[in-house]
Structure formats: C-alpha cells, structure tokens
Structure 1
C-alpha cells in the first residue's frame, strides 16, 4: 500500500478512536444518571450502578460508531485541509477517487473493529450487566434465554416465552413438583396481566400427573399467586439491538415457528448486517463536505456538521424502523434505506466536487 494511502487511512482511524474516547465518558454519565432512581432499591447501590454502566458502554459505543466515524473523519481530514495538506495532494495529482479509496481503507478497519465490538464484546457485557442488575434489584433467581425467560417462583419453575411489557405476558408455562406426593402439575396460560397489584392468568390448561394417571383441566381465568415483580420483568426485556447477529437469526426462526411477530428483531438483524456499510457511508459523506468547504473552517464547525448529519442519520433510521413496524414494511428495505440514502447523497456530492 502506498505511503499516502496508509497516511490517510491512519488519520481517519486515529481521529475516530479519539472521538470515541471523548464520547465514552459522556455516555457513561448519561447511563449512570438513568440509574440514579434505582440506587437504594434492595441491594442495588452505587457500586452496582457503576458496574452496570461500564458493562453497558460497549453496546452504546457500537450504536454510535457510525456517527463517531463521521465526526472523526471530518476532524482528521479537516485538520489536513486546514494545514493545506489536502490541497497539496490535489495539486500533486492525487484524485478525489484516490482520497476516497484511502479513507475507505481506514473505514474498513474501523468497520471490522465495530463488528468485533457489536458481535463479541457488547452482547456478553450487556447480558452480564442485566443479570447483575436484575439480581441486585430483586434478589430472585432468573435467566433470560433465546427460548424465553426462566425463573424460580416460590418453588415453581416458570417459563415466559414473550414479555410484551412488565405487566403483559404471553405463552406462560408453570411447573410444580411435589416430591412427597409424587405429583407433577404443569400449567399453560395464553396470557398473564398484572391488574390491581396481582397477576391474572387467561386461557389456562392444567395437566396433573400422579400415580393414578393424567388429568387435564381447563380454566378461562384465574389469579396467579406469584412473587414475580413487574419491575423485574421490565428489566429483563432485551433490546433486540443488544443481541448478536447469530442470536437474532436463531430467535427470529424460533418466533416464526411459534407464529409470533418478529418484526423488531428482523429490523435489528438487518441493521447489524448492514452496520459496516453504514460506517463506510459516513466516510463517503465526510469527504465531499470537506472538499466543498473552506479551509478556514475550524474544528468546532466540523464537529457541528458531524453532529447535525448524525442527528439526520438517527432520525431517518428510526423513522424507517417505525414505518416498518407500523405498516409491515420489508425489514431489509427499512434497514438498508438509511445507508443507501447516505451513499447516494455522498456520490452526488463527490461528483460536484470532483
């Protein structure tokens, strides 16, 4: 690789990493501030809140990686422009296409770092953080798996396949074993709702196994004397964006087999698949913004431009995600719309400055 290409790629990479380093403490403060209300509940103290914050940071870093890449490219290449280095390169015959290629080489390395962060580090750290927070807040033994939420509830084993919210559950199995009497009771409920401080099961089928055989009873509605706290269930609802790609794929298949709506997970899946493309599109946007602006623009203006474009990215991506959920839009198209829009805009701007 020519020295010039390595130099430009290194400028993009180092500036992006410095931007992430600057944003890291700020995000930590925001996450910790959200946890202040929970501090003092059960065994959840300041130490637990700080640990939860640290374990949550990798996921948030992954989510803002494209914006950090944009700001880093604007600052790094902008510094070269303010020192007239880009002008000297253009005067020496370096084309805009070569500048783009060199910057994208650095972008490929950054995209690889983002993939490792989002697929290996963030999911493990996020899961560990949620487990620590859940145990400290409730003290109850519970585990969130790809096949539902499992908990031990006053001697019974509870499996909840779908948590709509902390107060609305779907597809619940409750298993009770009485070793003294040698009986097993397995109950399945279609719905569970938290009403007036108590749980109510709906659409219940109860199977009892004992020495005399198997008995089945159906009940339309009944109270559920459970120790499960709605606050605990709200804590364990996993953000689809926190799961790795292979975990999302397996979970989508599982939900499809059980005829459940997996739209949110499909959008998150394609969003993670296309995440490297979005990172590269941010670099494409940065170059024409720099080449088409004055060399006298300071770092403050470049950061402001990066933040504004980042806000546009966030609004556009969330808009397409909500449209897909509301109107049944294809998940791939919803996830691909934002990077394709940025790439198309960048190509038009590059043609103007090239």
Structure 2
C-alpha cells in the first residue's frame, strides 16, 4: 500500500505543481501588461516592472494554490482514470476510502508547501515588491528604518514615526538646512492630515537655530507645503499580506492596546490559519469530480470545470473577506466560510460516489 500511496501522491503533487506554475505564469503575464500603464512614472521603467512582478510571484502562488491543487488533482486523477489504473486498483480490492486517503496524504504535503510560502517567503517578497514599486514611482529619496520613514524634500529632511490610514501621520520631525548644510529649523508636530493638496500640522513645536541662540515656538495648527505625497507613505503602511502569522498576532495586540481598529488584521490572521486548509479541501473535491458519475467526461472538460470552480472559490473567498470587514462580521466566519462550504460540498459528493 505504501507503493500505491506514493504513486497516487506523486501523480497528484506533480500535476498540481505543474498547474501552479502554469497559473502563476498566466496571471503574472497579465499583471505585467497591467503594470505597463505605470511605466514612465518617476523612475518606474521596464526593469522595475520585471523586478516587481518577480517579487510578487510568491504571494501570487500562495493565492493560487487552492485553484492549482484542484485543477492539478483533476488532471492527475483524470489521467489515472483514462489509463484505467483506478479501475485496476478497485478490481484489486483497493477501496474508495483507501484511494481518498492516498490523495489526502498528497494534499497535506501541498498544504505544507503553501504554509511555507505564505508564512516565510511571500510576506518578505511582497513587502519588498510593494516598497520598491512605490519608491520608484514616487521618484523621491526615501528610507525605511526602525525609527520610521525618512524622506528628503528639497533642503529639508523629514522623519515620520507613524503612518495611519486615511492620509494621516503622527510624530513628524522636519529638519531644515541652509545652503551651507547647517541645521536652521527643527519642527515637531504631533499629527498631520493631508487636505486639499497640502498637509495640516497639529500641536507644533519648533526650534529656530540662529548663530548664537535658539528660539522656540509653539502653534496649534499650521499648513505645511511639502512635495511629500500620501501615495508615497503607503509603503510604510503595514499591510496584512506583508505580515507573518506571529507578526499579525503582535500587531493586532498593538492596535487593540492603542484603541485602533484591528478587524482587517484579525481577518487576515484567520485567513492565514484557514487558507492552507483550502488546498486540502480542493484536492478532496477533485476526487468525486473524477470518480463520480462523470467518468465519461473528457479530461479537457474536467480541467475547464476545475478551473472555473477554483476561480469561483478564489473570488468568493476574496469577497467574503471584504464583506466581513465592511459589515464588521466575525473574522472567523468570513475567513472560514468559503472553505467550510466547499468542504461540505466535497463530502456530500464523496458520499454519493461511495
């Protein structure tokens, strides 16, 4: 039976990985075409587009894993059916549950690969891709460090410690230098909001440095004309997809401790926990689709049906998360709902086949 498990597993895994490569190539190609519209903005050229697409590939692969697993399992099992190998196994006394168990073992290996990509590779490369793209398009000298975001604006250097959604920033330090590169003004603002093409600073403390003395001023509000655009600050916003599982847990605790909305990150946390299981569920769904009454269905038709089902699952899964955030629904329900419904459908179809 070990030989049988390895044979079925090798067939399912090989076809699934082949399909994953094909899907990633197709989606990356269309993403490349879409990015061509942004060529010419700042320093964003063809080399930067290629780098962005390459760095985005792991996250794209992670997103497409369930679809690739379904279509790949349909393809692999379909070949076994076409070659009458499944029939020979059944005739030799191998039960349907035994075949399903072999398929599930293979799906667990695929799930493990999805976890490795989604937890250790995709967060790093996706953050690098997004940061590089934003900086190239903005064409400004910028730097991210443990002390926040740094940018040069003419003769001024800006340090922003916290970036908030809605074009808001907190703890802003502005250092202005003269032509001799001597510090002349140091300004601190507790908060700033981007309104009507300019920044509005709040709770301002300013030090004007003369040759022999330092003058300190305070103000409640003041307009700040800067070339620094909110679009550039998006590179510092912590996005759910750029965090690992443990990173999400820590960031949720941080947001809740500071009284900020954490639902999008709670949603992302549960998606991280549930999404790899979708790979197992989709492989399980492939079994009754191949071994059921539709055995006479051609292999190409099965692949098309599998691709359609996988695409619908992908869209439904994305929509469920957005709806959950929009209407403040339970993140557990929003994240697990599509996978649980698909699992129920797979078990129902398996029961009919059995």
Q: TM-score, with normalisation over the residues of structure 1?
A: 0.88
1:261: Cα distance to partner? 1.3
Residue 278 of structure 1 corresponds to 278
CA distance in 1 between counterparts of 2:315 and 2:81 reads 30
Q: 1:133: which partner in 2? A: 133
Instruction: Report how far residue 78 of structure 1 moved.
Output: 0.9
Q: Which residue of 1 aligns with 2:173?
A: 175
Residues 1:315 and 1:72: Cα distance change in structure 2 (over 3 Å):
same
CA deviations 1:229-265 (Å, max 9, x no partner) are: 2443456656422432222222222222222212112
RMSD: 2.7
Q: Secondary structure at the match of 1:156?
A: strand
Q: Distance in 1 between matches of 2:36 and 2:226?
A: 28
Q: Spell out, residue by residue over 1:40-86, the C-alpha distance to the aligned partner (whole angstroms, 9 max, x if none).
A: 22222111111111111111111010110010001100111111111
In 1: Cα distance, 2:195 partner to 2:304 partner: 46
Report the Cα offset of residue 320 of structure 1: 2.3
Note closer, same or farther for the CA distance 1:34–1:111 as it changes in structure 2 (3 Å cut).
same
Shift of 1:103: 0.7
Q: 1:315 to 1:24 in 2, by over 3 A?
A: closer
Check whether the contact 1:208–1:216 (CA below 8 A) recurs between aligned residues.
yes
Residue in 2 aligned with 1:246?
A: 246
Gaps of 5+ in 2: none
- Alignment-derived partner of residue 158 in structure 1: 159
- What's the CA shift string for 1:96-128, capped at 9, x where partnerless? 211111111111111111111112222222222
- Partner residue in 1 for 2:14: 14
Decide whether the 8 Å contact of 2:267 with 2:321 is kept in 1.
Answer: yes
- The normalised TM-score by structure 2 is 0.88
Which residue number in structure 2 is paired with residue 217 of structure 1?
218
Q: 1:352 to 1:147 in 2, by over 3 A?
A: farther
Show CA shifts across 1:147-186 (max 9, x none).
Answer: 865544443333263443xxx4224221134796787432
The match for 1:185 is 187
Partner of 1:35: 35
Q: Pick closer, same or farther for the CA change 1:329–1:145 going to 2, 3 Å.
A: farther
Aligned-partner Cα distance in 2 for 1:37–1:70: 33
Give the aligned length: 346
2:220 aligned counterpart, secondary structure: strand
Contact 2:74–2:287 under 8 Å retained in 1: yes
8 Å contact from structure 2 (residues 123, 241) kept in 1: no
Q: Contact (CA 8 Å) 1:207, 1:214: kept in 2 or not?
A: no
SS at match of 2:329: coil
1:199-210 superposed matches below 5 A: 199-201=198-200, 204-208=202-206
Match of 2:290 in 1: 290
